[in-house]
Chain A
Amino acid sequence: MAEPLALKDHTWETRIFFRRIVVGFGVLVVLTLFLVARFFHLQIVQHDVYATLSDKNRIQVQSLPPIRGLIYDRNGELLADNSPSFNLTITPERVDDMPQTLARLAEILELSDEKIEAFRKRLKRRQRPFESVPLRFKLSPGEIARFSVDRHALPGVEVEARLVRNYPRGELMTHAVGSVRRINESDARRLDPVAYSGTDHVGTIGVERYYESDLLGTVGYQQVEIDARGRVMKILESDLPVPGMDIVLHVDSSLQQAASDALGDRRGTLVAIEPATGGILAMVSKPGYDPNLFVTGIDHATYASLRDSPDVPLFNRALQGQYEPGSTIKPVIGLAGLVTGMTNAQYTIDDPGWFRLPNNDRLYRDWNWTTSGSGGHGQVNLEKAIYRSCNVYFYNLAVEMGIDRIGNYLALFGFGVNTALDLPEAKRGLLPTREWKEDTRGLPWYPGDTVNVSIGQGDMLVTPLQLATAVTVIANRGRWVAPRMLKSGSDLLERSTVPQMDSIELIPDRVWDLIIGAMEKVVHRGNQVYGENGTAWAYIGQDIPYRMAGKSGTSQVVAIRQGEEYSEEELDERERKHAWFVAFAPVEKPEIALAVLVENGGGGSAVAAPVARAVIDHHLLKNTAAGGRVIAATEQ
Chain B
Amino acid sequence: MKILLLVAALFAAPLLAHPAAAVEPGEILKDPALEARARAISKELRCLVCQNQSIDDSDATLARDLRIVVRERLTAGDTDSETVAFIVDRYGDFVLLRPPFKASTLILWIGPALILVAGIAGVFVWHRRRRSAVAAPVAPLTADEQARIDALLSRDAER
Verify that A and B bind, or say they do not.
no
- Report which B residues bind A (CB closer than 8 A): none
Interface residues of A (CB under 8 A from B): none
